[in-house]
Amino acid sequence: MDKNVLRNLSYGVYVISAPDGDRSVGCIANSAMQVSSKPATIAVSINHDNYTNGCIAKGGRFVLAVLSEESDRGIIGTFGFQSSKDTDKFAAVEAVDAGGIKTVADCVGYVICRVADTMESSTHTVFLGEVEDAVMLKGGTPMTYAYYHNVIKGKSPKNAPTYVEEEQPKPSGSKKFVCTVCGYVYEGDELPADFKCPICGQGADKFKEV
Amino acid sequence: MDKNVLRNLSYGVYVISAPDGDRSVGCIANSAMQVSSKPATIAVSINHDNYTNGCIAKGGRFVLAVLSEESDRGIIGTFGFQSSKDTDKFAAVEAVDAGGIKTVADCVGYVICRVADTMESSTHTVFLGEVEDAVMLKGGTPMTYAYYHNVIKGKSPKNAPTYVEEEQPKPSGSKKFVCTVCGYVYEGDELPADFKCPICGQGADKFKEV
C-alpha cells in the first residue's frame, strides 16, 4: 500500500470552534467538506484527543472559519499546536461572536452549524453540521492545505487525520532547529537570535536543535 | 445567510467507482476527505440520485481516484455529466483494475476502500471507507475544485454538494452557447464549427445558444 496517495487529497485550513461553558474553544481542521446543499450541511473530522471534540458533542454546535492565504499565521500556531484544555486560545487572536460562539476575525468568513449527526472512526469523530448561518468577513483566497504545507512549510499537528510520522524532522548533515510549539523546522548553521517562527510567531528561545 | 462562504471550502476532484454486477460504474465527487490515519479511513459524499450511490451501498466497496491538473478533461465530462445507469463510462476512458473494480488510469493514484459506516443527509450519503489499498499511478499536481472552476471554467454537476443554481448561465448582451452535456459556457459572437468543449470534448453540435 502506498499511503502517499492519501497526501494527494485536497483540503482547506479551518478553525473549528465550540462553546465550553462561558468560554469558547477551538482547533485547526483540514478535513471538512460540504455534504449537501438543500439544506446545506458540512462534515468535519475531529480527533477524540482534541478538547474541542467533547465541547462540540456537549454543546451540539460548532463554527467553521475558513482561513485565507493572508490570515495571520499565528492563528495556526495557537489553534493547531496548543490545547484549549489549558489555554484560552481566543485571548491570543482577534475574535468575533458567531451566534454565541467565538471565532477568528482574520478569515475569509465563517459558517455556524448545529450538529445533526455523528459518525465514529477509531480516532476521529465526523460531525455532520446543518448550517444555521454563514457570514463573509475578509474574503480573499482560501488557504489550501497544500499552500500551508508547500508555501508556508507547515506541518500536520499530531491529531490531524493527515498526520504522518515521516513528516517529523530527521537530523542530517546540516543543522536543524525545530520550533517546540508548532514543529516548524529551520535549517542553517545557526538560528538568528531575533528569529521568529513563521508558523506560530514564537521566538528563538522556543527552538531547539535536533 | 451568505451562502457564498460555502464556496470557499477547498476540495479536490475525484472519480468514485463501484462494482455493479459484472461491470463498474462511477461518478465525479469533490466532497472527499481523510477521516483518520490509523487505520486510514476516507469519507465521501455521494448524491442519492447518482447511480453509483446504490452500487457502493450494495457492493460495500468503492475506489477513489485523484484527478490531476493534467488528467484528460473528458474524464470529468464522462463521469460528471452522464449517468452510469445508461452509459458504460469506462468504455470511454483508459481503465485499470483496482481490486476488482475499474478506475481511471489517467490520475495521480487511487485508493480502494471497504465501506465501514454510512451517514445520511437529506440528499447525500456520506460513505466512510476503510482503506484496503492505495496505488500511485501518474502522480502530478492534484486538481483542486478551485482549479477546475477558475482555470478550466468548469461547472458543478446538479448532484454535487457544491452545486448552486446561481452558477447557471444568465443570458446578457453577448452571445452565450452552453454545452448540453456538461454545462460549459462559451461566450462570443458565434461558436466555431470545429469547436470542442474543453470540459467534456463534445463537438459544436452539442451546444445551444442561451
Do you know the residue count of chain B? Answer: 210
Q: Which of A6, A47, A120 to mutate: most B Cβ within 10 Å?
A: A6
Nearest beta carbon to residue B122 from set A2, A36, A146 = A36
Quote the pLDDT of residue B165: 63
Quote the pLDDT of residue A171: 46
CB contact under 8 A, A10 and B9: no
How far, CA to CA in Å, does A108 sit from each of A139, B6, B150? 4, 10, 18
Tell me the residues of chain B between 23 and 62 that have a Cβ less than 8 Å away from chain A: 30-43, 45
pTM metric for this prediction: 0.84
What residues of A are in contact with residue B66 (Cβ under 8 Å)?
Answer: 5, 8-9
Asked if residues A77 and A92 have their Cβ atoms less than 8 Å apart, the reply is no
Closest by Cα among B110, B84, B116, B86 to B96: B110
Quote the pLDDT of residue A48: 96
CB contact under 8 A, A33 and B40: no
Quote the pLDDT of residue B108: 98
Query: Domains in chain B, start-ordered, CATH in brackets?
Result: 11-150 (2.30.110.10), 169-209 (2.20.28.10)
Q: How far is A101 from chain B (nearest CA, A)?
A: 17
Alpha helix segments (H runs only) across chain A: 51-59, 74-80, 145-150
Quote the pLDDT of residue B136: 98
- What does the pLDDT average to over A165-183? 69
Tell me the residues of chain A between 136 and 165 that have a Cβ less than 8 Å away from chain B: 136, 142-146, 161-164
Please name the residues in contact with B122: beta carbons below 8 A apart, sequence gap of 6 or more. A36, A38, A39, A41
Reduced to 3 DSSP states, what percent helix, strand and coil does chain A have, rounded to the nearest 5? Answer: 20, 40, 45
- What does the pLDDT average to over A70-90? 88
- What does the pLDDT average to over B75-85? 86
Quote the pLDDT of residue A84: 83
Is the ipTM, as predicted for this complex, more than 0.85?
no
Summarised one tens digit per residue, pLDDT across range B98-111 is 999 999 999 999 99
Q: Which of A117-121, A161-165, B99-103 has the lowest mean pLDDT?
A: A161-165
What residues of B are in contact with residue A1 (Cβ under 8 Å)?
Answer: 131, 133-134
A103-112, B76-85, B147-156: range with highest mean pLDDT:
A103-112
Nearest beta carbon to residue B37 from set A5, A146, A161 = A161
Amino acid at A31: S
Q: How many CB atoms are closer than 10 A to CB B88?
A: 11
Alpha helix segments (H runs only) across chain B: 51-59, 74-80, 145-150
The residue that leads in pLDDT, B61 or B76, is B61
Quote the pLDDT of residue A172: 54
Asked if residues A42 and B20 have their Cβ atoms less than 8 Å apart, the reply is no
Q: What gap in Å lies between CA A194 and CA A201, rounded to an integer? A: 11
Mean of the per-residue pLDDT values of chain B: 90
Any idea what the Cα angle at residue A167 is, between residues A172 and A176, rounded to 5°?
A: 35
What letter would DSSP give residue B167? Answer: G
pLDDT score of A210 more than 60: yes
Asked if residues A153 and A184 have their Cβ atoms less than 8 Å apart, the reply is yes
- What does the pLDDT average to over B7-24? 96
Instruction: Give percent of chain B with pLDDT exceeding 90.
Output: 62
Q: What gap in Å lies between CA A99 and CA A43, rounded to an integer? A: 19
pLDDT score of A170 more than 80: no
3-state secondary structure of B8: helix
Quote the pLDDT of residue B171: 47
Asked if residues A169 and A153 have their Cβ atoms less than 8 Å apart, the reply is no
Instruction: Give percent of chain A with pLDDT exceeding 90.
Output: 62
Mean of the per-residue pLDDT values of chain A: 90
- What does the pLDDT average to over B116-137? 97
Asked if residues B43 and B132 have their Cβ atoms less than 8 Å apart, the reply is no
Tell me the residues of chain B between 100 and 139 that have a Cβ less than 8 Å away from chain A: 108-111, 116-124, 126, 128, 131, 133-136
Summarised one tens digit per residue, pLDDT across range B143-184 is 999 998 888 777 777 778 877 765 444 445 678 898 888 778
Nearest beta carbon to residue B9 from set A4, A33, A124 = A33
Q: What gap in Å lies between CA B109 and CA B137, rounded to an integer? A: 5
CA dihedral A186, A191, A197, A203 (to 10 degrees): 150
User: How many Cα atoms sit within 13 Å of A16 on the Cβ side?
Assistant: 35
Instruction: Give percent of chain A with pLDDT exceeding 70.
Output: 95
Residue of B nearest to A47 (CA): B36
The residue that leads in pLDDT, B134 or B86, is B134
pLDDT score of A46 more than 60: yes
Nearest beta carbon to residue B109 from set A8, A41, A123 = A8
pLDDT score of A71 more than 90: yes
Residue B129: pLDDT band (50, 70, 90) is very high
Quote the pLDDT of residue B96: 98
Instruction: Give percent of chain B with pLDDT exceeding 70.
Output: 95
Quote the pLDDT of residue A186: 87
What residues of A are in contact with residue B16 (Cβ under 8 Å)?
Answer: none
Q: Which of A173-177, B67-71, B174-178 has the lowest mean pLDDT?
A: A173-177
pLDDT score of B142 more than 60: yes
- What does the pLDDT average to over B35-50? 96
